[in-house]
Amino acid sequence: MKLGIVGLPNVGKSTLFNSMTLGKAEAANYPFCTIDPNVGIVTVPDERLTKLTEMYDSAKTTPAVIEFVDIAGLVKGASKGEGLGNKFLSHIREVDAIVHVVRCFEDTNVVHVDGSIDPIRDIETINLELVFSDLEILERRIAKTGKMAKADKSLQKEMDVLQKLKDALEQGISARAVEFDTPEEKAFVNSLTLLTAKPVLYAANVAEEDLADDGASNEYVGRVREFAEKEHSEVFVLCAKIEEEISDLDEADKKEFLADLGVDGSGLDRLIAASYKLLGLISYLTAGPQESRAWTITKGTKAPQAAGKIHSDFERGFIRAEVVSYDDLMRLGSYNAAKEQGLVRSEGKEYVVKDGDVILFRFNV
Ligand code: GDP
C-alpha cells in the first residue's frame, strides 16, 4: 500500500514525512526502506498482534506497513514541465491514494509561496496541475478511441465516459467527483489511472493549540472540510511540528505528551486509520511460534488472493483456509480450544476474508 504526500512548498510536508521516518528502527526490517530517501515505511498499529504474539510465544512480530512517498516539488506549472513537474506527476501515478497537506497554521516566520494563508486556493493550485495532466491524457485517448469508434460502434460507450470526464475536468472538477452508474463505466474510469481519480485525504496542518478541538475553532480547517465534503474526500487535522517532536519518544511518553495537549493518539496513527478507511482496507492475521503477522487486504478479497499476499505459491496451490476469528480465539484462550468448540472453520476458494480473521492456509506446492 503506497500513499503519496503532496502539497505546496512550505506547508509542512517534509516535517510530516520526517516524523514518519525518525525513530522507526523497526522499519529497518523492510529492505526497500533504505533504498529511496523519499519513501517512508510506517507500521500499522494493531493491538491484536501483540496479544497473538503472547499467545503463540512468537519469535517475531511483523505488523502491516504503509509506504509513504514524499512527492515534494509539485508547484504551479508542474503539468507544463516546470521545475521537474512531469517527474513528480509520474510519481503520483504510482500511488494508491494521495495525502494532500494543506497549511492551516499562521506563522509569520514561515513564508507562504503565494503570500497569504488560503487553503482552498492552495488546494486548487495543486489540483489544477493534476487536472491539466489528466486532460492531456483524456485528449489523446479521445482522439485515438474516436477514430476506432467509427469502425467499431461498441466503443461509443467509452467515448461517452471520456467526454463526460473531459467536460468535468475542463470546469476544474476532479475525476473522483464525477458520478458513474454502471460497474463497467467505473472499471473503465479506473483503467485510465487518472491522477484526479485517486482517493485523497486532506491533511490540515494546524498550530499546536488547534489540536485539542480537532481544528473546530480554526476557520481554515472549516473551509477545507466544506471543500472535501463536496468531492467526498476525507479531512484529518494534525500538527506536523508536534508529530516531528514526538516521533522519537517511546509509546508511553508519546501518550502522556499528547494527553497534555488534549489529544488521544498521534496524528500519524490517525492518518493510518483514515487511510485504511479511505481505501477500504482490512487486516487478517497469521500466528505461530515463528512469527505473528498482520497482512493488509482490500475489503472483499477472497481467500486465495489473500493467501497470495504471503506468497504467490499460496495463491496458485490454494486448497483451503482454516479460519478462526480473533475474538473467538482470544475468548477461548487457544487454537485447540477454539477447534474443540467448532470455531475453526475450513473455508474454500469463495470465502471472503474478514478483518481480524486468524488464518492458516493449506496449499499444494
Ligand atoms: P514543505 O516544504 O511542505 O516540506 O514544508 P516543511 O515541512 O519544510 O515546513 C516548512 C516550514 O514550516 C518549516 O520551517 C517548518 O518548521 C514549519 N512548519 C511545519 N509544520 C508546522 C506547524 O505545524 N506549525 C508551525 N508553526 N510551523 C510548521
Q: Are residues 224 and 79 in the same domain?
A: yes
114 vs 117: CA distance, rounded Å: 8
Residue 287 lies inside a defined structural domain of this protein: no
* Smallest CA separation from ligand 1 atom 22, residue: 241
Least confident of 50-54, 181-185, 303-307: 181-185
Span 182-189, average pLDDT: 93
Residue 293 lies inside a defined structural domain of this protein: no
Set of cell numbers at residue 106: 499562521
Q: Are residues 104 and 212 in the same domain?
A: yes
Q: What is the pLDDT of residues 157-166, one digit of tens each?
A: 999 999 999 9
Span 119-137, average pLDDT: 92
Residue 92: pLDDT band (50, 70, 90) is confident
What is the domain extent for residue 305? 300-363
15 is in an annotated binding site: yes
294 within 8 A of 46, measured Cβ to Cβ: yes
User: Between 113 and 152, whose confidence is greater?
Assistant: 152
For residue 11, how far is its CA from the centre of ligand 1 (angstroms)?
6
Residue where a domain terminates, one of 196, 227, 243 = 196
Query: Would the pLDDT of 84 be above 80?
Result: no
Residue where a domain terminates, one of 140, 161, 196 = 196
Q: Are residues 173 and 205 in the same domain?
A: no
* Smallest CA separation from ligand 1 atom 15, residue: 12
Residue 17 lies inside a defined structural domain of this protein: yes
Q: What is the pTM of this model?
A: 0.84
Residue 220 lies inside a defined structural domain of this protein: yes
Q: Percent of the chain scored above 90 by pLDDT?
A: 61
266 within 8 A of 45, measured Cβ to Cβ: no
Residue 288 lies inside a defined structural domain of this protein: no
Domain count, the chain: 3
215 vs 103: CA distance, rounded Å: 12
Q: Are residues 269 and 229 in the same domain?
A: yes
For residue 103, how far is its CA from the centre of ligand 1 (angstroms)?
9
Residue 27: pLDDT band (50, 70, 90) is very low
Beta strands in 160-206 (DSSP E): 200-205
Set of cell numbers at residue 322: 482454516
287 vs 48: CA distance, rounded Å: 11
11 is in an annotated binding site: yes
CATH number at residue 105: 3.40.50.300
Q: Are residues 208 and 106 in the same domain?
A: yes
Q: Are residues 91 and 130 in the same domain?
A: no
Largest alpha-carbon pair distance within the chain? 69
* Smallest CA separation from ligand 1 atom 18, residue: 12
Residue 120 lies inside a defined structural domain of this protein: no
**Element spanning 129, H or E:** helix 119-151
Computed on alpha carbons and rounded to an integer, the radius of gyration of the chain in Å comes to 23
Span 83-90, average pLDDT: 66
Ligand 1 pocket residues where CB is under 6 Å: 7, 9-15, 72, 105, 107, 110, 205, 207, 239-241
Q: Are residues 43 and 145 in the same domain?
A: no
Q: Are residues 156 and 231 in the same domain?
A: no
Residue 155 lies inside a defined structural domain of this protein: yes
* Smallest CA separation from ligand 1 atom 24, residue: 207
Q: Are residues 37 and 156 in the same domain?
A: no
Atom of ligand 1 nearest to the CA of 106: 26
